[in-house]
Chain A
Amino acid sequence: MIHTENLSKTYMMGDVEVQALRAVDLEIKDGEFIAIIGPSGSGKSTLLNLIGCLDTPTSGAVFIDGIDTGKLSENGLAEIRREKIGFIFQQFNLIHTLNALENVALPMFFAGVGRETRIKRADELLAKVGLGDRMYHKPSELSGGQQQRVAIARALSNDPEVVIGDEPTGNVDTETGNAIMGILKGLNRDGRTIIVVTHDAEIAAYAGRTKRMRDGRVLD
């Protein structure tokens, strides 16, 4: 389970304070599929980065499985990102020097998983997202939709409980977007918690619950 308490993030733009997130209290239950929707600049990415332990809050706290992530060291946070969370980006963000299989295996590499297990599992994950025949392709040799599917496989690499997507369909056409949401829906059916940020009401419809954001606040 994930919950935030009074979570706030303030950026300094020169002398001006930008309050990207204002005292957000949010609870996400295990196995839930939640969509966060809101206009540009409302703080969706900021919230997601904090939940995903990519960033640290100005005040307030994020609890993951009861652990106050604010009390963790950099290494502790890296371990949470590695083991408990799979992150999917709008820009796919694959490592362009590595092929699909190596990209998927990378989080396991950082986790110290043995080579054979890594390859076997990466192989299975790619097959699962329908890319069994593209394992040795470099990202530049794949379409946007295919890259995003590699990114999903990579997010699943260390079998995390939570998959987070920041506009995962933002850079693909509607049809591909639906396919990607279908995969995420499937992951949710397998018991994983899915948190997705989107502008698109149609995409949000895949989720079991939708939360709206505005001006750094989560609306009820």
Chain B
Amino acid sequence: MKDTFLLVYRNIRERKTRSILTMLGVVVGIAAVVAIMSISYGMQESITEQLSEMTDIIMVTPGSAELGSFGDFGSFTERDLKDVERISGVKEAAALMGEMQEVEYRGEKVMVEIVGIEPRDMDAVFGATVKLEEDGDSETSASGRELRDNDRKACQIGYSVANDYFNYEIGVNDRLTINGSKFRVIGVLEKQGGFRSNVDAQIYVTKRDAVTIFDTDDISTIFVRVRDIGEAEGIADEIEEQIDDNHKLDDFTSAMAMGGAIEELKSIFQILQVFLLAIASISLIVAAMGIMNTTLMSVMERTHEIGVMKAIGAKNRNILFLFLMEAGVVSGIGGVLGCIVGWGAAEVISFGIYTAFDVEIGVVMKLQVLLAGVAVAVLVGILSGLYPARKASKLSPVEAVRYE
């Protein structure tokens, strides 16, 4: 075995440039597959992680349904909220008020989205995924605390508001001016990013304070959690009907069951993954043709040598094995390099997505993907080498020796 490798190695090295070019084809193919696999696993993971808590949510907005943004299409009333709470199957319903307001910190003014919410509803809206930032405040080990019902002129701020919006970083107990009145920061939220990056850019106050700042008690979004995800679609329809009735309008309300939307999103990603893999596979097919071509050329060039080997006693399968090994080794090395390059490429893509869109998609490098990458490379090599190798092994000794 070791000596077969030696023989194969000598032959590969003798045609170094060609071997490297052939290998390059495999490297590109495998790298593409590995990178796509690990990025899409990363995407899947971040979707699942970020959205799994949201499957039982129905988001009710006036007009069009857009994840987490407040439209200017109208607003809901306390009565709407009460009616929604009464619909059977609804576990919790929380009202959110939202408006862009001028926020001042150390003389700097920035427009920020202010969200008014009943502190007790925070959990219903956020679930367990949105937490206070873990941080240096040694006593609490978190940045501040949650909002409470009896808080006045107090706010919780999103990560980006705290760190990026103003020249100076904002911390717990700092004071902001929102629409002219002073607010104390009682908590800084953990960075969310991805599908919840809107949370990073918001300031949370109690509903009572929001009414004062906005000078209205209009509700811009109603967050609903249902008991049974299976009923979510039905309940969403009921909510739309009920609120449209209240306002005596058609299509005034849009209630979106997140579960369905999330499933849809997931299947879109799966289709995307298959599509990208199909494209990557084309590069593998090209690589396979490269290997076949190289091996065929190698067989042609070495016809005489094959004849000599047969004349001194090589069996057909000795020759077959030699050429298969040659193809397998070239593509196997290509596969290993492809995995490394693919991994690197995945990290680069992930970093690129992060800097361009501020969405964190981790690279999920599964051992199976790497092993499969190398295995596929070797398999492609051997399969592409099969035809030329068989051709070589079947050469007649006299004719091959005579061939110059």
Bound pair (A, B) = yes
A-binding segment of B157-165, B309-317, B348-356: B309-317
| Bound-state Cα–Cα, A82 to B3, Å | 18
Given contacts A54-B397, A75-B316, contact A109 B310 (CB under 8 A): no
A201 within 8 A of B: no
A93 within 8 A of B: yes
A120 within 8 A of B: no
Report the minimum CB–CB distance from B186 to chain A (whole Å): 77
A205 within 8 A of B: no
Q: Are A93 and B313 in contact (CB under 8 A)?
A: no
Give every chain A residue within 8 A of B397 (Cβ-Cβ): 54-55, 81
Q: Mark A24-35, 1 if CB is under 8 A from B, else 0.
A: 000000000000
Q: Mark A47-69, 1 if CB is under 8 A from B, else 0.
A: 00100101100000000000000
Q: Closest A-chain residue to B393, C-beta based?
A: A74
By the criterion of a CB under 8 Å from any partner CB, how many residues of chain A are at the interface?
Answer: 30
Report the minimum CB–CB distance from B385 to chain A (whole Å): 18
B273 within 8 A of A: no
Report the minimum CB–CB distance from A140 to chain B (whole Å): 12
Give every chain A residue within 8 A of B308 (Cβ-Cβ): 89, 93, 95
Given contacts A95-B308, A97-B11, contact A78 B315 (CB under 8 A): yes
Q: Are B316 and A81 in contact (CB under 8 A)?
A: no
Give every chain B residue within 8 A of A124 (Cβ-Cβ): none
Partner of A74, one of B10, B304, B316, B398: B316
A154 within 8 A of B: yes
Give every chain B residue within 8 A of A86 (Cβ-Cβ): 312
Q: Closest B-chain residue to A53, C-beta based?
A: B397
Give every chain A residue within 8 A of B311 (Cβ-Cβ): 52, 54, 81, 87, 89, 93
Partner of A78, one of B3, B304, B313, B396: B313
Give every chain A residue within 8 A of B3 (Cβ-Cβ): 109, 115
Q: Are B313 and A110 in contact (CB under 8 A)?
A: yes
Partner of A81, one of B7, B11, B310, B396: B310
A83 within 8 A of B: yes
B340 within 8 A of A: no
Q: Are A78 and B401 in contact (CB under 8 A)?
A: no
Q: Are B315 and A75 in contact (CB under 8 A)?
A: yes
| Bound-state Cα–Cα, A93 to B403, Å | 12
B318 within 8 A of A: yes
| Bound-state Cα–Cα, A35 to B226, Å | 101
Q: Closest B-chain residue to A118, C-beta based?
A: B3
Given contacts A55-B396, A95-B305, contact A81 B313 (CB under 8 A): yes
Q: Mark B314-332, 1 if CB is under 8 A from A, else 0.
A: 1110100000000000000
Partner of B309, one of A55, A106, A115: A106
Q: Are A78 and B310 in contact (CB under 8 A)?
A: yes
Q: Closest A-chain residue to B9, C-beta based?
A: A97
Q: Are B315 and A110 in contact (CB under 8 A)?
A: yes
| Bound-state Cα–Cα, A93 to B308, Å | 7
Q: Are A54 and B401 in contact (CB under 8 A)?
A: yes
Q: Mark A187-217, 1 if CB is under 8 A from B, else 0.
A: 0000000000000000000000000000000
Q: List 5 A-B contacts (CB under 8 A).
A: A54-B398, A54-B401, A95-B309, A154-B312, A155-B312
* Residues of chain B having any CB pair with chain A under 8 Å: 2-3, 6-7, 10-11, 14, 304-305, 308-316, 318, 396-398, 401
* Residues of chain A having any CB pair with chain B under 8 Å: 49, 52, 54-55, 74-75, 78-79, 81-83, 86-87, 89, 93, 95-98, 102, 106-107, 109-111, 115, 154-155, 157-158
Please give 14 more A-B residue pairs, beta carbons under 8 A apart, in addition to A93-B311, A155-B312.
A49-B398, A54-B401, A81-B313, A82-B314, A89-B308, A93-B401, A95-B308, A95-B309, A97-B10, A107-B313, A110-B309, A110-B314, A111-B313, A115-B2
